[in-house]
Chain A
Amino acid sequence: MATSEMTIKKTADYVSPTRQRVMGILFLLIAFSIWFFFSRSLEPGLQTTFGLTPGGSETQLPDWIFTTAPVLNILALVCAILGGAQLARGFGSRTNLVLAWVAGIFIFSFLAWGASGGSLNMAGLLRSSLVRSVPITIGALSGVLCERAGVVNIAIEGMMLTGAMTGTLVGSLTNMWIGLLAAVAVGGLLGLGHAILSIRYKADQIISGTVINIGAVGITSFISAKFLQKYQELNSPGIFPAWDIPALSKIPFIGPIFFEHNLFVYALFFFLIVLHVGLFYTRWGLRMRSVGEHPKAADTLGINVFRTRYMAVILGGMMAGFGGGYFTVGSVGRFDEVMTAGRGFIGLAAMIFGNWTPFGSFGAGLLFGFTDSLASKLAILGVGIPSEVLLMVPYIATMIVLAGVVGRGQMPAADGKPYEKE
């Protein structure tokens, strides 16, 4: 339909009057609910304690203690002012940034309210959010690689699952480094399969992805039931140890959150930067994006559309395989059937939420990792929200973004369309 033309015409700076008003009202509503639901329900003298040192870390920082109600009132006021400003003149191109700030304030208020009269280890929460965001973001990066070149990849889940199983099996037989390499290789192979089915044989890309997803569940559970459960020595690859980055890990608060992790977190940072630079500042990335946006034009200019797509999908598969390795050699140290539990699909959601960009995906991955991590802490907070409801947030948020309520994403124009040379 006409949507793709519309998105091109609509420049990034333009914010429609309706959206400006809707956003303003939303900010005001958030301000109101912080005051009405959180602040008003508290007894005046209650205090909130936020721990600023994650458990087990050597870089200590004293707890942060404040009286809850006044802080909440100030935050509500800030939101209200932002809402008023948005209604009066609008933030223009910075609307989404302000929205992120308001959302952040809301989450902070929620936590302060939930932890009032008790304590919450904030640093621990953020750190586990980052850790939980790793498989999601790596899955999203796999999607970015494929879809920027115009191939839809809903098989991230299957590729991750197979990578996880292979990492365990090969890792147990040799060592975890080779196991991780094998996970990457198997991911690449599945990527090749996806590419052959969808580029060479022009099978529907969603069906091709489904083939991999169904097959991956089948083959990994089969091998797990046949070998891994029977011979435990085949299911103990070991776990990558945490490496503290020398100087950086000593920074209070930031250090323990970002720089006391194992290989996978650092690899995530590395991939993020490489992929961002590669996609947007190199000839390689320009070619790949052009193949995803307008393959015919790219072909006319002498770019080999098929080869570029093959490369992108194989790289995407390898990325997903690496993400699969996280589940076994990166965190648990053993393989269980269907252990990815939909993380690949959350990765797909993070890619959409992050607007098909590496750093956007990382932001979305962090947000989804945060909900994941918060869901496991809800019982401690005792706020009466079922953790399952919180776990729905990534999916609902993605649907809202996809529907264009907070600005339509810029997906590659030729995403999902097979290319036919004429």
Chain B
Amino acid sequence: MTDHEEQPQEQPEEQTQEQPEEVRRSFVSVFVEEVSASPLTITILAIVSALILGGLLVALTSEDVYAAWGESPLLAIRTGFEAAWSTYVALFEGAIGSPARMFAALQSGDAEEIRRAFNPFFETLVQATPLIFTGLALALGFRAGLFNIGAEGQLFIGAIFAVAAGIYIKGLPPIIHVPLAFMIGALGGALWGFVPGILKAKTGAHEVINTIMMNYIAFRLSEWLLRGPLQAPNSFVPISANIEESAQLWTFFGAPIRFHAGFLIALVMAWLVYWFLFKTRWGFDFRSVGMNPRASRYSGMNIVVVTVLAMSMSGALAGMAGANEVLGVNHNLAVAFSSGYGFDAIAIALLGKSHPLGVVLGALLFGALRSGAIQMQLQAGIPIDIISVIQAFILAFIAAPAIIRTIYRLKTPSIYKGEVFSRGWGGD
């Protein structure tokens, strides 16, 4: 199993006590070394580098830049810089809100104008909510050594279950109906995670392949249901009926703010996942199996149960994301309603080092990107898809921190351990 652990490439210990001039090292150089050793630096640099590359893409595909290139290259560079800058300003204003507008709204005291001015910020939270759930799903899987690439499919099944519970269960008070529909959604996701889990545990079939397959089965299933049994009566498009009002997640502000109780549930789930992973015996088993399945088995842990349970719980969390979207935002189910929340989650979980707090922060960042991108498209005319490009770069830099270390000449920390996310197709 040594191939999972990278040998430290340099041995910085030599520099410590033997050399007397070490004492006279300047405050700045010590600081620089400390900073380069911190994993947080890599994370921040990864995000910044990805944003720079995204800006480069904007500049390289801008027609203004092409026009300016004809006049002089210098002008082209300036135009490119301005194009990238205006893109990110629009992104920021779409994600957080325009400070000037917020200030003016507060001064005017007009309630609706205040809601409008602050809406971008709340929209970020709305976008971040499903990402927190799916990010937690991936993180929980990673901790147990499982790569659940099927969060998207589990999300779809969760949404189907939740929307069915929201439509067909009638006459319940909201205080029962909402949690019930939410739990049924989670159950659907858990079921979709259970299948690859049990296949992995019993036959060794790799969960990555099986979850990919289960994704597409879920997509086809939802298409069929929405053209058949679940389709709203008198509807010509594949869309379900609206859920009962008693199943809708609570909102706190008037229109246009869509912020709802799902975000709070997501935070509670993040804390629960943290508590489970780090404060319970089961969580210890999960992390132990994730780090070294063979040692865990010899120490008497039940790998089969841990694998099945981890995949089911991961699926349940992803299912909650689907339930959250259906019960909190859309109030119905349409074909392809999720725009890749389950796939963004991979980057979020890695960005957050598979820790619930990190996941929440990563989800907020990605939620801000998503919500800002809509504004960016309107204001700067930049297609929303640039977000995927930025996300791909972030993911690449996080997965291969050596790239960032090389670009920014960071020192390799002395205790660097390669992280293991998944193993080869054939088990371990």
Interface residues of A (CB under 8 A from B): 1, 3-4, 147, 152, 154, 197, 201-204, 206-208, 210-215, 217-219, 221-223, 225-227, 342, 345-346, 348-349, 352, 386, 388-389, 391-392, 395-396, 398-399, 402-404, 411, 413-420
A396 touches B213 (CB 8 A): yes
Cα A396 to Cα B196 with chains together (Å): 12
A114 to chain B, nearest CB (A): 19
B383 touches A415 (CB 8 A): no
Q: A222-B388, A342-B219 are in contact. List 14 more A-B contacts (CB 8 A).
A: A1-B204, A201-B402, A203-B399, A215-B396, A221-B383, A227-B61, A342-B216, A346-B216, A348-B209, A349-B209, A398-B209, A398-B213, A402-B203, A419-B3
B388 touches A221 (CB 8 A): yes
Q: Does B301 contact A (CB under 8 A)?
A: no
Q: Does B187 contact A (CB under 8 A)?
A: no
B346 to chain A, nearest CB (A): 6
Q: Which residues of B contact A396 (CB under 8 A)?
A: 213, 217
Cα A44 to Cα B223 with chains together (Å): 37
Q: Which residues of A contact B388 (CB under 8 A)?
A: 214-215, 217-219, 221-222
Question: How would residues 22 to 43 of chain B score, 1 for a CB under 8 Å from any chain A CB and 0 otherwise?
Answer: 0000000000000000000000
Segment at the interface with A among B67-75, B246-254, B416-424: B416-424
A13 to chain B, nearest CB (A): 22
Q: Which of B228, B347, B389 contacts A219 (CB 8 A)?
A: B389
Interface residues of B (CB under 8 A from A): 2-3, 6, 57, 61, 147, 149, 199, 203-206, 208-210, 212-214, 216-217, 219-221, 223-224, 227-228, 340, 343, 346-347, 350, 383, 385-393, 395-396, 399-400, 402-403, 418-428
Closest B residue by C-beta to A419: B3
B48 to chain A, nearest CB (A): 18
A-B pairs with the 9 shortest C-beta distances? A218-B388, A215-B392, A416-B424, A201-B400, A388-B224, A225-B383, A221-B385, A218-B389, A395-B213
Cα A206 to Cα B423 with chains together (Å): 9
Q: Which of A202, A392, A413, A416 contacts B220 (CB 8 A)?
A: A392
A345 to chain B, nearest CB (A): 6
A399 touches B220 (CB 8 A): no
Q: Which of A348, A386, A399 contacts B224 (CB 8 A)?
A: A386
B399 touches A218 (CB 8 A): no
Given contact pairs A221-B383, A391-B220, A402-B206, A215 touches B393 in the complex (Cβ within 8 A): yes
Determine chain B's interface SS by DSSP, over half rule: helix
Closest A residue by C-beta to B206: A402
Q: Which of A3, A218, A345, A420 contacts B426 (CB 8 A)?
A: A3
Q: Which residues of B contact A213 (CB under 8 A)?
A: 343
A417 touches B3 (CB 8 A): yes
Cα A204 to Cα B228 with chains together (Å): 41
Closest B residue by C-beta to A296: B3
- Could you list 30 examples of A-B contacts with CB < 8 Å? A1-B428, A4-B426, A152-B424, A203-B396, A203-B399, A204-B421, A206-B422, A207-B421, A208-B399, A214-B395, A219-B57, A219-B388, A226-B61, A226-B383, A345-B212, A388-B220, A391-B220, A395-B217, A398-B213, A399-B205, A399-B210, A402-B199, A402-B203, A402-B206, A402-B209, A402-B210, A403-B203, A411-B425, A417-B3, A418-B3
B209 touches A415 (CB 8 A): no
Q: Which residues of A contact B428 (CB under 8 A)?
A: 1
Given contact pairs A214-B343, A415-B424, A197 touches B149 in the complex (Cβ within 8 A): no
Q: Which of A206, A388, A417, A418 contacts B149 (CB 8 A)?
A: A206
Q: Which residues of A contact B400 (CB under 8 A)?
A: 197, 201-203, 208
Q: Which of B206, B216, B227, B346 contacts A207 (CB 8 A)?
A: B346
B79 to chain A, nearest CB (A): 16
Q: Which residues of B contact A207 (CB under 8 A)?
A: 346, 350, 395, 399, 421
A44 to chain B, nearest CB (A): 33
Cα A226 to Cα B83 with chains together (Å): 14
Cα A3 to Cα B203 with chains together (Å): 9
Q: Which residues of A contact B383 (CB under 8 A)?
A: 221-222, 225-226
Closest B residue by C-beta to A207: B399
Q: Which residues of A contact B220 (CB under 8 A)?
A: 388-389, 391-392
B106 to chain A, nearest CB (A): 36
Cα A402 to Cα B212 with chains together (Å): 13
Given contact pairs A1-B204, A218-B387, A201 touches B403 in the complex (Cβ within 8 A): yes
Given contact pairs A210-B149, A223-B61, A404 touches B205 in the complex (Cβ within 8 A): yes
Q: Which residues of B contact A352 (CB under 8 A)?
A: 209
Pick from B149, B389, B422, B424 the residue with the most CB of A within 10 Å: B424
Given contact pairs A399-B210, A403-B199, A218 touches B386 in the complex (Cβ within 8 A): yes
